[in-house]
Structure 1
Amino acid sequence: MSSNIPLAEATSNHVMVFDLVKTNAGNGYHPSTGVFIVPKSGIYVFSWSFRNSDRHYHSTELMVNNSVESIIHLHSAAGIWISGTGVAVLHVNKGDDVYVRISALGH
């Protein structure tokens, strides 16, 4: 991401838009919405990272359509930045929407 999400906007179900894209073979990822639309059914590897600071607790979820497929929980100590990375290997179908959102669980 090219910038931090302001705390006031880091609300439940907020889709994280990763606007700095290094690789997008097949143009399935849409950096304006943060959604990857699966171009061809098959097995894919999805990974995402985020960081948290100064006593904040947040969770992010990897979503396929409306189903939570994976989750990361981060809770940082005072004055400390921490980061986490999630990796999921999933079979997805052509046309499925895959995205990362802020979870209602970690707020």
Structure 2
Amino acid sequence: MFEYILQIYIGILLLPGFETKSIQNKTDEEYSFNDVIAKLEDKIENLTRIINQGKQKHDKPVLFFVRLSKSITLNKDSIIKFDEVMVNEGNHFNPGDGIFVSPVTGIFQFTWTIQTTTSKLVETELMVDNVVMDTLHVALTANDGNISGTKVVICKVKKGHHVWIQTSSVYASNYFHKPNAAKSSFTGMLIPTS
């Protein structure tokens, strides 16, 4: 155990910027034992601070991917409650109300895909703190079948802002269709920057 502690002590003494004097060349400027301990404590505190700053920069990513598990019809200005959570790093998306609350200020990418079917339509909006960032309109009137549309938006979001997808104020009947395995979905992720 003593050898291990001695190796750590020697390793710290060899860190850049740590100056020592030879025992044979004692002068008035020679470090006292207390000075050496104080320098070591400072070095350890600085290293700990640097390590902790690095951890903060490389925390878990902010990321969610959620889907709508069933076919539903929503009125105007209705928040879509994506209830099937596939990924929710940090638990910042709430499937109970369909809202993501940003834990940080940053640049985010949001993507949503909407499914509908023949003679139906859906118009949705990406909302960031009650501001419409973009709109997606999906409608199929000509042929039998299903149709989907996808929108990708990159925008700045501040810490604490609420983000959600809602129907627009245009149509009173927005039909979200779930054909077989295909589902409407909503994804958000923080884009790492240097």
State the match for 1:3 in structure 2. 70
Q: Which amino acid aligns with 1:32?
A: G
Q: Distance in 2 between matches of 1:71 and 1:106?
A: 13
SS at the partner of 2:87? Answer: coil
One of 99, 104, 107 as aligned partner of 2:169: 104
Contact 1:73/1:106 (<8 A) preserved: no
- Does residue 88 of structure 1 match 2:133? no
TM-score by length of 2: 0.51
Higher relative contact order (CA 8 A, sep 6+): 1
For structure 2, list consecutive stretches of 5 or more residues without a partner in the other structure: 1-67, 173-194
- Does residue 48 of structure 1 match 2:115? no
| Alignment size in residue pairs | 104
- Does residue 74 of structure 1 match 2:163? no
Q: Which amino acid aligns with 1:87?
A: V
Contact 1:60/1:72 (<8 A) preserved: yes
Bigger proportion of residues as strand? 1
| Alpha-carbon distance, 1:80 to partner | 2.2
Q: Which has the larger radius of gyration?
A: 2
Contact 1:49/1:83 (<8 A) preserved: yes
| Alpha-carbon distance, 1:84 to partner | 0.7
Q: Distance in 1 between matches of 2:106 and 2:70?
A: 32
SS at the partner of 1:86? Answer: strand
For structure 1, list consecutive stretches of 5 or more residues without a partner in the other structure: none
Contact 1:57/1:73 (<8 A) preserved: yes
State the match for 2:82 in structure 1. 18
One of 91, 95, 104 as aligned partner of 1:27: 91
SS at the partner of 1:27? Answer: coil
**Percent of residue pairs bearing the same amino acid type:** 33
Residue by residue over 1:12-68, the C-alpha shift from the partner in whole angstroms, topping out at 9 and shown as x without a partner, is: 111101111111111110011100000111011111111111211220000001110
CA RMSD of aligned residues (A): 1.2
